[in-house]
Structure 1
Amino acid sequence: MQSPYIVELNEQNFRQVLEGSMETPVLLHFFASVSQESIDLIPAVQSLTQDYDGALTLALVDCEKQQAIAAQFGIQALPTIALFINGQPVDGLGGPQPIEAIEQMLAKHLPSKEELTIQKALKLIEQGQHTAALPLLDSISEERAAKGDVKLAKADCLLETQQFDLAEALLAHIPLEYQDNYFKGLVAKLELHKQAADSPEIQSLETQLETQPDNVQLACDLAKQYHQVNRDEEALALLWQFLVRDLNALEGELKKTFMDILSALGQGNPIAGKYRRQLYSILY
């Protein structure tokens, strides 16, 4: 398995690999062809290392080729597993082991896979890649997602991807101990959106439509204004009220506006999916 996190340990890279444990924990796996159990375990240990996605380095030690290293560690049983952190051995296992035993050993010293996922998402957010970070945060367990740090990170992603209602719902339930400058910055960003989303132009059109509820042009103009400030669900709901009565209202302009908003939202958007289905139901 080719991976930057998996190396074959030898006398030339021995010191470098162990010194690397000052930055990233190193798991040594001692094996030999005379021990089929130690050979069979290699793919599972490699896969486990890949799951840690850079938070763990695996060093494979062929005891037949690296007898001096095996002797230095006093290897008496195969397979033998040794975990190094900060240049020092902190844990190990000797003799045939199920992969679950190694997972349990690592869990005592390393962040869980879930915490690693959160760390990866936070790094993406720092890099401005909120769209990529959001699915990672969505994959977190419900219990962990209820914690303030994950809620803040997710609210950040929702704001950046213009899912303002969902962001507001999260920010309304942030524990007091997490209401720091990060939290205040997100709230300020939400308030700016709210102010822009309720412009005098929108308020004027809403007032006119209240007095002229059957004015199709007013409805179309208001829907366009809603779309410009990312109030797309309201825009689609408003347009649909008129489209369901007349698909060719305003000589097709209403349907075109409706389709333009659906297109802007993209294929994966649940709101767009809902209104596409409704449109298809009256088209076909």
Structure 2
Amino acid sequence: MQSEFIVEMNQQNFQQILEGSMNTPVVVYFWAPMSQESADLVPQIQQLAQQYAGAFTLALLNCEQEQQIAGQFGIQALPTIALFSQGQAIDGLGGPQPIQAIEAMLQKHLPSQDELNLQKALSLMSEQKYSEALVLFTSLPEELQNKGEVKLAKADCLLATGQFSDAEAVLAQIPLEYQDNYYKGLMAKLELHAQAANSPEIQALEAQLASDAQNTKIANELALQYHEVNRSDEALELLWAFISKDLGALDGEMKKTFMDILSALGQDNSTAKQYRRQLYSILY
């Protein structure tokens, strides 16, 4: 398996690899083709390295090919696993091991998978990949999602992806100690959206619909206006009130508007997911 996190250790690079542990922990896996148990574990430990996605470097050392290095390390059993950090061996395992034992050893010294996902989400945010970051934030356990700094980052992604109602709900739960300049900046974005999203045209359509609640043409136009100013949640709610009772409302135009908005919001939008499920329940 080729990966930037996995290297083959040999006489030429082993010193450089161990020096690399000054920056990133290195797991050296000593194995040999003649040791079936050590060979069988190679794909599993490679997969583990992929899952950790750079939290450590996996260095594979074939002891048959690199007997001198194996001798320098005093290897007596295969497989042997050694964890290096800051240039020093800090933990290890000798003899046949289930992959769970290796995972347990790593968990003592490395960030958890959830913490790695959080770091990755923050990195994606810095690259302005807000939708991808939001998927990771949403996948975090409740304990992490409830942290103030995580809520702020999630609200930032929600604002960037036009999910203003959800962002408002998250910002309403920010603890007082986290209501700093970052928080104030997000609240300012939310306020600017609220001002832009309540245009005279929208107000006029809302007034017309209030006086003629069953007018499908006005309702459809208002939903389109809502969507234009990123009030898509309200647009879908309004359209659903009509098409849930009559899929052919406004000669099918309302259903088309509804589907267009769902498509525009994409597959990862939580509100769109909810309405897709509701639509499928009446279609099939």
TM over 0.5: yes
Map of 2:273 onto structure 1:
270
Counterpart residue type for residue 4 of structure 1: E
Decide whether aligned partners of structure 1 residues 206 and 10 sit closer, same or farther in structure 2, where only a CA change above 3 A counts. same
Q: Secondary structure in 2 aligned to 1:41?
A: helix
Decide whether aligned partners of structure 1 residues 242 and 74 sit closer, same or farther in structure 2, where only a CA change above 3 A counts. closer
Map of 1:180 onto structure 2:
180
Map of 1:238 onto structure 2:
238
How much has 1:63 moved relative to structure 2?
A: 1.9
Q: Distance in 2 between matches of 1:246 and 1:76?
A: 73
Map of 2:83 onto structure 1:
83
Counterpart residue type for residue 273 of structure 2: P
How much has 1:241 moved relative to structure 2?
A: 5.0
2:129 is equivalent to residue 129 of structure 1: yes
How much has 1:147 moved relative to structure 2?
A: 1.8
Decide whether aligned partners of structure 1 residues 278 and 210 sit closer, same or farther in structure 2, where only a CA change above 3 A counts. farther
Counterpart residue type for residue 206 of structure 1: E
Decide whether aligned partners of structure 1 residues 184 and 37 sit closer, same or farther in structure 2, where only a CA change above 3 A counts. same
Map of 2:200 onto structure 1:
200
Work out whether residues 236 and 275 of structure 1, in 8 Å CA contact, stay in contact via their aligned partners in 2: no
Q: Distance in 2 between matches of 1:97 and 1:253?
A: 63
With structure 1 as the length reference, what TM-score do the two structures score? Answer: 0.86
Counterpart residue type for residue 28 of structure 2: L
Counterpart residue type for residue 100 of structure 1: Q
| CA deviations over 1:22-78 (Å, ceiling 9, x no partner) | 221110111234433322222221111111111211111122222221222122222
How much has 1:104 moved relative to structure 2?
A: 1.4
Counterpart residue type for residue 124 of structure 1: L
Work out whether residues 197 and 231 of structure 1, in 8 Å CA contact, stay in contact via their aligned partners in 2: yes
Structure 1: which 5+ runs fail to align? none
Decide whether aligned partners of structure 1 residues 39 and 175 sit closer, same or farther in structure 2, where only a CA change above 3 A counts. same
Map of 1:19 onto structure 2:
19
How much has 1:217 moved relative to structure 2?
A: 4.5
How much has 1:159 moved relative to structure 2?
A: 1.3
Decide whether aligned partners of structure 1 residues 272 and 242 sit closer, same or farther in structure 2, where only a CA change above 3 A counts. closer
Counterpart residue type for residue 92 of structure 1: G
> RMSD of the TM alignment (CA)?
2.6
Computing the radius of gyration from Cα coordinates, the structure with the larger value is 1
Decide whether aligned partners of structure 1 residues 279 and 13 sit closer, same or farther in structure 2, where only a CA change above 3 A counts. same
Q: Distance in 1 between matches of 2:27 and 2:246?
A: 67
With structure 2 as the length reference, what TM-score do the two structures score? Answer: 0.86
How much has 1:267 moved relative to structure 2?
A: 5.8
Work out whether residues 266 and 272 of structure 1, in 8 Å CA contact, stay in contact via their aligned partners in 2: no
Work out whether residues 247 and 255 of structure 2, in 8 Å CA contact, stay in contact via their aligned partners in 1: no
Q: Secondary structure in 1 aligned to 2:29?
A: strand
Q: Secondary structure in 2 aligned to 1:89?
A: strand
Map of 1:106 onto structure 2:
106
Q: Secondary structure in 2 aligned to 1:24?
A: coil
Map of 2:66 onto structure 1:
66
Greater shift, 140-149 or 166-175, is seen at 140-149
| Aligned residues between the structures | 280
Structure 2: which 5+ runs fail to align? none
Indicate the percent of aligned positions where both proteins have the same amino acid: 61
Q: Distance in 1 between matches of 2:93 and 2:252?
A: 72
